[in-house]
Structure 1
């Protein structure tokens, strides 16, 4: 009896040692866990890392449970939150170059974007951006989606004049373009958009992909859904970890987090590709949505306006220019491959 008691005590001691050795990181997500594709990506990452790591565990929290969405960067940097799953475009008001690591108008689609990020200079520039801006964070690419829709409108848009005077929720660098074209833009978190549409505070919105937007119910108020998503041909998502917490992790745990993020990029992209067409069909057949394609002349205006915005931002901000020039150099080389290998898509 005495031996069995001592053995039990020994086992409890080992269990306690193992528990104390495991790092538990609290992670705020910018997207609610019930939101498809965006929200499920944060949940999926946590499930991935917790299933393969014995040295670190992540705990997922929805937006607002720890900090509001737009405060996550500061919270991770100062250590009040251990980690964040978000997209760098939310920090554009703090760091001019941030959106270049999230979504670039008329920029790279998912494959090209990942090539720059993982096999060219993107990841190094991404970390340097946070370092030079004084943020105490370690960043990892941790998700990506294909193009979004470019807007839900209450009324049909047939010319640039129809955009003038609209109040619209808009994300990232595309918002700079819309402002030049007479649209008043604001950046609202996902859960705040429908109420703003409903009470008339905004006339239109973009947020994400059809399946995600359907969950938020935009089709109840705005019946015209426009494509293509020129402002976000691909959107990259990030895992931010407080740098002190990151440096305290053993190398194996760090590598496991990196592997989990790479796996998350794959499943995040695949979920979007597999599930959006059904949402588009449901939107049109059950909810009375009209899917519209921007006329070529309007797309040309969006693009020329974006080129003006990019040139001005590069002239104003040295780091934006460095990243922008690097991305443009990469894209120029990529054309040799990208403009040759793919079959043309019929319109």
Structure 2
């Protein structure tokens, strides 16, 4: 009897140890190196995404956010994920346009892809218009061993910050202007702007040293966190260069394949939730920041000169057509966006007129 109890107890211990081992085996830590400082709003939202993933997997998948430069330089982030030097990365996919020009069509489709797609319509294309499948194909086209997820849509981004008011393109062309990399920045050069691409953390020092005279980054909240209001006071909200912008997470393909189906689904669900949560977060946070900038920091809000829109849109379309003629996959993605726009934009643009008129009526009633 005692022998049987001992044998049974031994089996119980063995099963417990085996179960514990299986539990430990399922626990995965994904280190995600960001391309921006830890204080940025985007990192706040990325941490919220990580918590959702942890909650949905009962703590099996842990996402640890690393600041820019923690493992490799910002420009090496994507390659580091591809090679497995770090399990994940976080950036805007247009940063990688040097690997493939179509990256811009996902990270920052210049001037709404030239066909009127705004940040909300873009999510519709991505989720239901074939965009997600093309996004997955992008990494194969790049030759990267990566599984990507869009997390944080934003837009339209502000035109930017200036030393003095600008009333025309002639005024605009007087300034050395920080722009995003890739096609959106190149389009500024095409319309005669002295465009300078640089990382977010370098913008304020460059303004303070006079390396550049004007700058864009994002929107009122992120801009104020970076402190541009300390140097420049004239702010323009309406711009075309990044009507749509998406910050994404990149996971090493081998790491992704080792996750269980449940863990993979949890990341997908958390990513889809992040699309909506980010939009909601941005509206309120940017509203509070704009109110603070104009009421407490001497920032003056202006309307963008009308001749900017025609000049930038024409240059953007020319750039899109040139890239489509050169690259089959770029053409495939842009054709998909154009086909979506033919169906969705007339409805959505018309509906948005009601929203815009509603908001402007309220804003004007307060003056």
Q: TM-score, normalised by structure 2?
A: 0.87
Question: How far apart in 1 are the matches of 2:183 and 2:250?
Answer: 21
Match of 1:135 in 2: 144
- State whether residues 153 and 225 of structure 1, in contact with CA within 8 Å, keep that contact through their aligned partners in structure 2: yes
**Are 1:289 and 2:294 counterparts?**
no
CA offsets 1:24-45 (integer angstroms, 9 cap, x no match): 1111122333212x22121111
CA offsets 1:299-342 (integer angstroms, 9 cap, x no match): 11111121122122222222222211211111111134214434
Corresponding residue pairs, total: 344
- State whether residues 121 and 345 of structure 2, in contact with CA within 8 Å, keep that contact through their aligned partners in structure 1: no
SS in 1 for 2:153: strand
Question: How far apart in 1 are the matches of 2:288 and 2:66?
Answer: 29
Match of 2:33 in 1: 28
Superposition pairs of residues 148-187 of structure 1, within 5 angstroms: 148-164=157-173, 166-171=175-180, 172-187=182-197
Question: How far apart in 1 are the matches of 2:159 and 2:257?
Answer: 40
Most deviating of 44-53 and 184-193: 184-193
Match of 2:55 in 1: 51
Larger radius of gyration: 2
Question: How far apart in 1 are the matches of 2:191 and 2:79?
Answer: 32
Question: How far apart in 2 are the matches of 1:226 and 1:94?
Answer: 32
Instruction: From the superposition, tell whether residues 336 and 179 of structure 1 become closer, same or farther in structure 2 (CA, over 3 Å).
Output: closer
- State whether residues 104 and 110 of structure 2, in contact with CA within 8 Å, keep that contact through their aligned partners in structure 1: no
Please give the root-mean-square deviation of Cα atoms over the aligned residues, in Å.
2.2
Deviation at 1:199, TM superposition (A): 0.8
- State whether residues 152 and 225 of structure 1, in contact with CA within 8 Å, keep that contact through their aligned partners in structure 2: yes
CA offsets 1:171-225 (integer angstroms, 9 cap, x no match): 1432121111222323322211111111111111111110110011001112111
Match of 1:314 in 2: 324
Q: TM-score, normalised by structure 1?
A: 0.92
Question: How far apart in 1 are the matches of 2:161 and 2:305?
Answer: 16
Match of 2:124 in 1: 115
Deviation at 1:165, TM superposition (A): 5.2
Question: How far apart in 1 are the matches of 2:307 and 2:166?
Answer: 13
Question: How far apart in 2 are the matches of 1:297 and 1:319?
Answer: 33
Instruction: From the superposition, tell whether residues 340 and 286 of structure 1 become closer, same or farther in structure 2 (CA, over 3 Å).
Output: closer
- State whether residues 146 and 273 of structure 1, in contact with CA within 8 Å, keep that contact through their aligned partners in structure 2: no
Match of 1:125 in 2: 134
Question: How far apart in 2 are the matches of 1:343 and 1:158?
Answer: 25
Deviation at 1:14, TM superposition (A): 4.5
Which consecutive residues of structure 1, in runs of 5 or more, have no partner in the other structure?
none
Question: How far apart in 2 are the matches of 1:225 and 1:319?
Answer: 37
Superposition pairs of residues 150-229 of structure 1, within 5 angstroms: 150-164=159-173, 166-171=175-180, 172-229=182-239
More helix, by proportion: 2
Deviation at 1:67, TM superposition (A): 2.3
Question: How far apart in 2 are the matches of 1:95 and 1:78?
Answer: 18
**Are 1:103 and 2:113 counterparts?**
no
